[in-house]
A = this chain, B = another copy of it.
């Protein structure tokens, strides 16, 4: 594939450059074709959210940071898009929160698992779970290949961070008694609705923000508990939906 330069005068040049990055990682075997389509869905919701971190998203990031810092066994589940866009931030987040990193894919293939592992290791990861035969355990009630998990990782975790997750799997993880933190631009998706904490934001913005807040809260357990006591995911999600409706009205007036 010949890479075609985005005309710099294009009004959506920044968004187009992120696309080009995903396409590049697609050709490197990291991102699945379905991942490109999923990115497009995210773009549409991001456009409606105003392409910046919102107040409810920031609240959810704080609750997510507190949850990760107070977890017994936290795991960050990584797919192709996440690795392509925020590998370094994921590795830093895992380091500060002492979380494990596990590759988990809807469209599984050992080649792609290894490609993602490679990206994570290049970004500084020392251990990457869930690759090949390591994903030997199964989440109950799931039909897709995504049910396969690492017995040292997601299977025994109490908290799982799932950027860009599938609704079925979020639901199954919650049913297993785990706290699930989702990053999803669609506040109406089943992932968003089923997760314990839903960050309605672009991973490109939410992940570095999560790293920043985790750094601030790292030694303040009291503050973490206070944040968690005051956080209501349903209410927070409703605020994101209200924001989108308000912005649609504004855009429609133009």
Contact = CB atoms under 8 A, between A and B. Distances in A.
A109 B248 contact: no
Contacts of A167: 11
A10 B43 contact: no
Given A7-B143, A39-B40, A143-B10, A1 B33 contact: yes
A77 to B, nearest CB: 19
Given A241-B252, A248-B241, A34 B10 contact: no
Nearest to A190: B11
Copy tally for this chain in the complex stands at: 2
Interface stretch (A18-26, A94-102, A121-129, A197-205): A18-26
Q: Which of A2, A167, A245 has the most CB of B within 10 A?
A: A245
Contact of A7 (B34, B44, B144, B241): B144
Contacts of A10: 143-144, 168
Interface string A135-152: 000000001110000000
A167 B33 CA distance: 25
Nearest to A238: B252
Contacts of A42: 40, 44
A8 to B, nearest CB: 9
Nearest to A16: B34
Q: Is the interface of A mostly helix, strand, loop or mixed?
A: helix
A30 B244 CA distance: 34
Contacts of A221: none
Interface of A: 1-2, 4, 7, 9-11, 19, 22-23, 26, 33-34, 36-45, 47, 107, 109, 143-145, 167-168, 186, 188, 190, 238, 241-242, 244-245, 248-249, 251-252
11 contacts: A10-B144, A11-B168, A19-B37, A36-B37, A36-B40, A37-B43, A40-B42, A40-B43, A41-B43, A42-B44, A44-B186
